[in-house]
């Protein structure tokens, strides 16, 4: 049963990721990314990481994808992609080959290390909110606080970046880029 | 294994797509692949540190998405395009 669920979720994740990458329309790519996120959340549950699965749904499928969709709608991009030049296609082919080599090396590492990995004993409270929270607030308290500072910096930076245009919308015409 | 597959798909997307929004989505996908690998290893090694790291990665991903999308918005208002081939500010 667990194996079956793993294959179902994994298949969903990979297929929707492929659709996302090959898609030209941002909105459908975002939808496929949501499917990938939800499949990944299912995989997390299979791996006994219940808190992370819930966070995955909340943060990614909820917040980040809403942000993406909002920006897509806001920008209202009309795609008018022309034919790619021959050089660009060659570059893309090279990129794909390089990534394929990278993938092969990663799989090699996975397989060579695979014999060590086996489903061992799992602690009683593995992956519960209580256990993760206890670790987070004792052993990893400093990184946790730094993460909150990082979020604050990101909020301030995003607001400033998005707001600055309103201020110098008139002056940007006067001096374009210097 | 699955993490490697997802990471590779995301990397291919970063290199082949020309739409900045989809490139950001591919970056998110790569981060998620890393998360999956972390969780899987933490499960197999019976060690909860991986969960904390995934928590941190999610935080950074959220911050990165917010800032990146703000950059895209301001770029779009300046240049009226999200095609990364047309955006070449560092050319002097």
Give the pLDDT score at A78: 58
Fold of A1-77: 1.20.120
- Residue window 32-61, chain B: list those with CB within 8 Å of chain A: 32, 35-36, 39-40, 42-44, 46, 48-49, 51-52, 54-56, 58-61
Q: What is the per-residue pLDDT across B56-87, written as a single tens digit (0 to 9) for each?
A: 888 888 888 888 888 877 777 776 665 666 66
Residue span of the structural domain in which B44 resides: 2-91
ipTM of the complex: 0.72
Give the residue-averaged pLDDT of A26-39: 84
Residue B88 with chain A: CB contacts under 8 Å: none
DSSP A61-83: IIIIHHHHHHHHHHHTPPP---P
pLDDT over threshold 60, residue A122: no
Q: What is the per-residue pLDDT across A86-117, written as a single tens digit (0 to 9) for each?
A: 566 676 677 777 777 776 766 666 555 544 44
**CB-based burial label for A26 (10 Å; 0-12, 13-18, 19+):** buried
For chain A, the domains span 1-77, 125-167
Q: Is B84 on the interface with A (CB under 8 A)?
A: no
- Please state, in angstroms and rounded to a whole number, the distance separating the CA atoms of residues A100 and A122: 35
Q: What are the φ and ψ backbone dihedral angles of B83, each rounded to 5 degrees?
A: -85, 120
Are B74 and A44 within 8 A, CB to CB? no
pTM for the predicted model, two decimal places? 0.72
Give the pLDDT score at A176: 45
The CA-CA-CA angle for residues A125, B50, A18, to 5°, reads 115
Task: Give the CATH number for residue B27.
Answer: 1.10.287.3510
How much of chain B exceeds pLDDT 90, in percent? 0
**Count of domains forming chain B:** 1
Q: Which two tokens stand for residue B57?
A: 């990665």
- Residue window 69-128, chain A: list those with CB within 8 Å of chain B: 71-72, 74-75, 77, 79, 81, 88, 92, 95-96, 99-100, 102-103, 106-107, 110, 117-123, 126-127
pLDDT band (50, 70, 90) for residue A129: confident
Return the residue in B22, B45, B54 with the most chain A beta carbons within 10 A, the one to mutate for interface testing: B22
Alpha-carbon distance A1 to nearest alpha carbon in chain B (angstroms): 18
Give the pLDDT score at A171: 46
């Amino acid at each position: 049963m667990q194996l079956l669920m793993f294959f179902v979720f994994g298949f969903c994740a990979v297929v929707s990721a492929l659709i996302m990458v090959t898609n030209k329309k941002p909105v459908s790519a975002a939808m496929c990314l949501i499917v990938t996120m939800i499949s990944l959340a299912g995989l997390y549950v299979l791996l006994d990481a219940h808190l992370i699965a819930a966070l995955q749904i909340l943060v990614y499928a909820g917040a980040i994808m809403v942000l993406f969709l909002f920006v897509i709608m806001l920008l209202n991009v009309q795609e008018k992609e022309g034919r790619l030049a021959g050089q660009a296609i060659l570059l893309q082919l090279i990129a794909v080959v390089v990534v394929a080599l990278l993938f092969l090396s990663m799989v090699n590492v996975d397989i060579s290390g695979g014999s060590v990995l086996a489903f061992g004993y799992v602690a009683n409270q593995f992956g519960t909110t209580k256990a993760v929270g206890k670790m987070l607030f004792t052993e990893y308290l400093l990184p946790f606080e730094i993460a909150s500072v990082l979020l604050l910096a990101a909020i301030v930076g995003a607001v400033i970046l998005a707001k600055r245009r309103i201020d110098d919308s008139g002056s940007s015409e006067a001096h374009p880029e210097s | 294994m699955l993490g490697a597959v997802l990471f590779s798909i995301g990397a291919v997307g970063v290199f082949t797509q020309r739409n900045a929004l989809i490139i950001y989505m591919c970056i998110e996908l790569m981060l998620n692949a890393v998360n999956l690998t972390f969780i899987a290893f933490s499960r197999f090694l019976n060690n909860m540190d991986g969960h904390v790291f995934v928590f941190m990665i999610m935080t950074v991903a959220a911050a990165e998405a917010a800032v990146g999308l703000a950059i895209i918005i301001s770029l779009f208002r300046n240049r009226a395009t999200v095609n990364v081939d047309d955006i070449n500010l560092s050319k002097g």
